[in-house]
Amino acid sequence: MMDSENNISPLELKHYLEVKRVEIDSKLEQYLNNNTFPGRLLDAMRYAVMAGGKRLRPVLCLAAAEAVSDAGEDELLAAGCAIEFIHTYSLIHDDLPAMDDDVLRRGKSTCHVAFDEATAILAGDALLTLAFEILSEDTMRNGHRDAKTHQAIKIISRAAGPRGMVEGQMQDILAEGKTLSLEMLERLHALKTGALIRASVETGALLAGANERQYQHLKEYAQLLGVAFQVADDLLNIEGDPVVMGKSAGTDADKKKSTYPSLLGMEASRVKASHLIDRALQLLDIFDKKADPLRAIAAYVIQRDR
């Protein structure tokens, strides 16, 4: 699967991801401590945010910026953390009894099980709001950056909102028990998971000062990556190891959800994911080796946890 242009070995990627993850985790913890009061709300927010996770979205933000330039990390980390808070809020709310009613996430009790439903709703609300607090706060220190971070708020809020992630979750709920067309399924996932993945890459590219051509290539890379990510996720839900996944396998089928494997079959889904990643890698040809992390992540996305 790995393209020959990709010069990062799986071992090096593992190291890269680990270094970034530690850096991001430390910043997430810092934001939680500095921007909340001690108490039950913070406990629930921290529980959900620190439950683990690969921090794929912030890593994509940082790696996209690296591909373009050596941008200052402070602003990028702030943006990456904001996106991760938004991602975590969406998981908390999606897991609620009124939504997907999941009790396990990353091998731990979901937030509403560990705390209670009201606290989980509020922890999600707080993380979503905190994301915008961070995006507006961290950039006031460098007045000249305002226009760019303002643009980042636009990209991120649009991706997360009623023309993005929230609409995707609504469509996902409405689709339960129905068989979707492939087109409808792609549209649903483009909103539900794709929009925030695209926003992560776009934000990194924007803050690092990408030119128009670089920006377009990275945007398309992220779009393809997002679809591949979802196909891989659907495959993992069927054949994944529950220990690795931290939740039960086969839950999509139990909920009668349309998935790529249910519409295309397992093998065709694998081929599709692989083709998407090949195309995503081609789009990175205009970049030098500074885009190697993005290249390695693309391969990783469809190989993870297997």
Number of residues in contact with a copy of itself under rule CB under 8 A: 53
Element (H, E) at 104: strand 104-105
Q: Is residue 157 at the binding interface for a copy of itself, with CB under 8 A as the rule?
A: yes
Minimum Å gap between C-beta 202 and a copy of itself is: 14
> In a 3-state reduction of DSSP, which class is residue 108?
strand
The Cα 115–Cα 140 span in angstroms is 35
Q: Is residue 50 at the binding interface for a copy of itself, with CB under 8 A as the rule?
A: no
Q: Is residue 149 at the binding interface for a copy of itself, with CB under 8 A as the rule?
A: yes
Answer for which of 22, 118, 182, 271 binds a copy of itself (CB under 8 A) is 118
Cβ(120)–Cβ(111) below 8 Å = yes
Residue placing its CB nearer to a copy of itself in the complex, 147 or 286: 147
> Which of these segments, 130-138, 195-203, 272-280, 288-296, binds a copy of itself (CB under 8 A)?
130-138
Residue placing its CB nearer to a copy of itself in the complex, 144 or 213: 144
| Tokens linked to 166 | 């929230």
Cβ(187)–Cβ(44) below 8 Å = no
Minimum Å gap between C-beta 76 and a copy of itself is: 18
The Cα 291–Cα 214 span in angstroms is 11
Q: Is residue 238 at the binding interface for a copy of itself, with CB under 8 A as the rule?
A: no
Q: Is residue 103 at the binding interface for a copy of itself, with CB under 8 A as the rule?
A: no
CA distances from 142 to 31, 79, 107, 136, 230 (A): 18, 14, 40, 11, 37
The Cα 147–Cα 190 span in angstroms is 27
> Which of these segments, 40-48, 60-68, 209-217, 234-242, binds a copy of itself (CB under 8 A)?
40-48
Buried b (16+ CB within 10 A) or exposed e, 200-229: bbbbbbbbbebeeebbebbbbbbbbbbbbb
Q: Going residue by residue from 168 to 207, which x/- string records binding to a copy of itself, judged by CB under 8 A?
A: -xxx-xx---------------------------------
Minimum Å gap between C-beta 33 and a copy of itself is: 11
> Which of these segments, 10-18, 117-125, 228-236, 275-283, binds a copy of itself (CB under 8 A)?
117-125
Max alpha carbon distance in the chain (Å)?
52
Cβ(64)–Cβ(293) below 8 Å = no
CA distances from 115 to 40, 44, 52, 106, 107 (A): 9, 7, 18, 16, 16
Answer for which of 1, 19, 98, 268 binds a copy of itself (CB under 8 A) is 98
Binding interface with a copy of itself (CB under 8 A): 35-37, 39-42, 45, 89, 93, 96, 98-99, 116-119, 121-122, 124-126, 128-130, 132-133, 135-137, 139-140, 143, 146-147, 149-151, 153-154, 157-158, 160-163, 166-167, 169-171, 173-174
